[in-house]
């Protein structure tokens, strides 16, 4: 459905997107994930033919972006970042305007207003709407032509938690038949909605995988943190190191209890051994947590944005 080859974009001297390539199949919900300024919006803007790539090629459906941008635009519905909509129009007029440019039946306005929950707001000026409603108008704008491809730049920004859940549900619903690409820096959003995630950092793709696989693939060690009482860290540490499978023990931070972070081989389950050792020594165990690798860890590792853990 969408294929991108060796795409680059320079803003003057700065290279915002550097040689990225990917293909997206019909019916996939793809999340474009990356820290601020990674090149997500630039990539989406090139896909929608708003920006011209410095080099590289984009093919959307049957159209090449450099040959027939209008063709590409006609099958894409696009929600730009922070939905910059004409403020001096009422919602109905705005949707009517988009509808007439796209050449769609008038009855579609009512339909899309129902879907996006805009019925009450149709006769209000866009500039008087709250951010959440503006975002909904933006979504209505993107979906009014019932496009094959939906590109959403930070679709849930500015919405309240209930609206976020609603929008995610809506995206998932649309994603059953249509191709959806959304950009975000919110990790839980990708985990909740996307089949596939492309992580971008400094204009380059650092990971491109199914959401589930990406979570599983990274790292070979698992982390277990424990908290125990009546023991100092050194004796706890040396006792732990005697257990088979423990690779390293580090000091954890807790004021009252003795805490340790154990690095163990990923394929071995050593928690029963740890528990047995502690109860044999008579050190009461308060807490034992095995850290599952969330997308957040993967993300921080790949983009080196966070502290090294």
Partner 1 sequence: MSNNNETMPANINKKFIHVIKSVFQKAFIIMKKELMSYYSTPIAYIVITVFLVVTGWFFFSTFFIFNQAELREFFKLLPIIFSFIIPAVTMRLFAEEKHTGSFEIIMTLPVSLTDVVVGKLFAGIVFTASMLAPTLIYIVSIAIVGSPDAGPMVGGYFGAVLLGGAFSSIGILASSITKNQIIAFIIGMIFCLILTLIDKFLFFLPASLLNFAEYLSADYHFKNFAKGIIDLRDLIYFVSVMAIGVLGTVQILEERR
Name the residue among 196, 215, 213 with its Cα closest to residue 205: 196
Identify which range of 87-95, 174-182, 208-216, 275-283 contacts partner 1 by CB under 8 A.
87-95
76 versus 231: smaller Cβ distance to partner 1? 76
The binder of partner 1 chosen from 10, 18, 22, 50 (CB under 8 A): 50
The two beta strands, 179-184 and 196-201, are: unpaired
Cα–Cα distance measured from residue 133 to residue 173, given in angstroms and rounded to the nearest whole number: 20
16 versus 249: smaller Cβ distance to partner 1? 16
Name the residue among 233, 72, 44, 238 with its Cα closest to residue 151: 44
The binder of partner 1 chosen from 17, 91, 98, 129 (CB under 8 A): 98
The binder of partner 1 chosen from 66, 93, 111, 146 (CB under 8 A): 93
The binder of partner 1 chosen from 31, 34, 39, 80 (CB under 8 A): 80
Identify which range of 67-75, 174-182, 231-239, 266-274 contacts partner 1 by CB under 8 A.
67-75
State in angstroms the smallest separation of the CB of 290 from partner 1: 46
- 16 makes contact with partner 1 (CB under 8 A): no
Identify which range of 71-79, 108-116, 203-211, 259-267 contacts partner 1 by CB under 8 A.
71-79
- 14 makes contact with partner 1 (CB under 8 A): no
CA angle, corner 57, sides to 187 and 7, nearest 5? 45
Q: Beta-strand (E) ranges in the chain?
A: 2-11, 14-24, 29-33, 55-60, 63-64, 76-79, 149-153, 179-184, 196-201, 204-210, 221-228, 246-251, 258-265, 285-291
Name the residue among 67, 74, 113 with its Cα closest to residue 92: 113
- 74 makes contact with partner 1 (CB under 8 A): yes
Two structure tokens written together for 2: 């969408």
Taking CB under 8 A as the rule, which mask of x and - marks residues 236-255 in contact with partner 1? --------------------
Helices 271-281 and 233-241 cross at an angle (nearest 10°) of 130
93 versus 301: smaller Cβ distance to partner 1? 93
State in angstroms the smallest separation of the CB of 48 from partner 1: 4
Instruction: With beta carbons less than 8 A apart as the criterion, state whether 171 and 193 touch.
Output: yes
Cα–Cα distance measured from residue 289 to residue 291, given in angstroms and rounded to the nearest whole number: 6
Query: Between residue 116 and residue 155, which ones bind partner 1 under the rule CB under 8 A?
Result: 141
Instruction: With beta carbons less than 8 A apart as the criterion, state whether 38 and 302 touch.
Output: no
45 versus 185: smaller Cβ distance to partner 1? 45
- 57 makes contact with partner 1 (CB under 8 A): no
Two structure tokens written together for 193: 């909605």
List of residues contacting partner 1 (CB under 8 A): 45, 48-52, 70-71, 73-74, 76, 78, 80, 82, 84-89, 93, 97-98, 100-102, 141
């Amino acid at each position: 459905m969408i294929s991108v080859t060796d795409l680059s974009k320079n803003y003057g001297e700065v290279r915002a997107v550097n040689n990225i390539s990917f293909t997206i199949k019909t019916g996939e919900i793809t999340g474009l994930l990356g820290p601020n300024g990674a090149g997500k919006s630039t990539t989406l803007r090139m896909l929608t033919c708003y920006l011209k790539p410095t080099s590289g090629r984009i093919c959307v459906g049957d159209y090449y972006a450099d040959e027939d941008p209008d063709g590409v635009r006609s099958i894409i519905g696009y929600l730009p970042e922070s939905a910059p909509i004409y403020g001096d129009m009422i919602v109905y007029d705005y949707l009517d305007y988009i509808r007439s440019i796209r050449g769609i039946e008038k009855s579609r306005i009512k339909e899309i207003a129902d879907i996006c929950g805009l019925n009450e707001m149709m006769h209000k000026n866009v500039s008087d709407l709250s951010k959440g409603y503006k975002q909904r108008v933006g979504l209505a704008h993107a979906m009014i032509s019932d496009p094959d491809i939906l590109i959403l730049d930070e679709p849930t920004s500015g919405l309240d938690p209930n609206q976020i859940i609603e929008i995610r549900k809506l995206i998932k619903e649309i994603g059953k038949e249509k191709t959806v690409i959304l950009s975000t820096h919110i990790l839980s959003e990708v985990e909740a909605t996307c089949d596939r995630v492309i992580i971008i950092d400094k204009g380059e793709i650092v990971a491109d995988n199914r959401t589930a696989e990406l979570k599983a693939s990274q790292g070979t060690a698992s982390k277990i943190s424990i908290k125990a009482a009546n023991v100092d860290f050194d004796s706890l540490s040396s006792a732990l190191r005697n257990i088979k499978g423990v690779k390293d023990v580090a000091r954890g931070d807790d004021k009252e209890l003795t805490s340790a972070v154990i690095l163990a081989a990923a394929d071995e389950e050593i928690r029963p051994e740890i528990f047995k050792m502690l109860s044999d020594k008579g050190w009461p165990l308060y807490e034992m947590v095995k850290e599952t690798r969330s997308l957040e860890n993967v993300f921080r590792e790949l983009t080196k944005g966070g502290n090294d853990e």
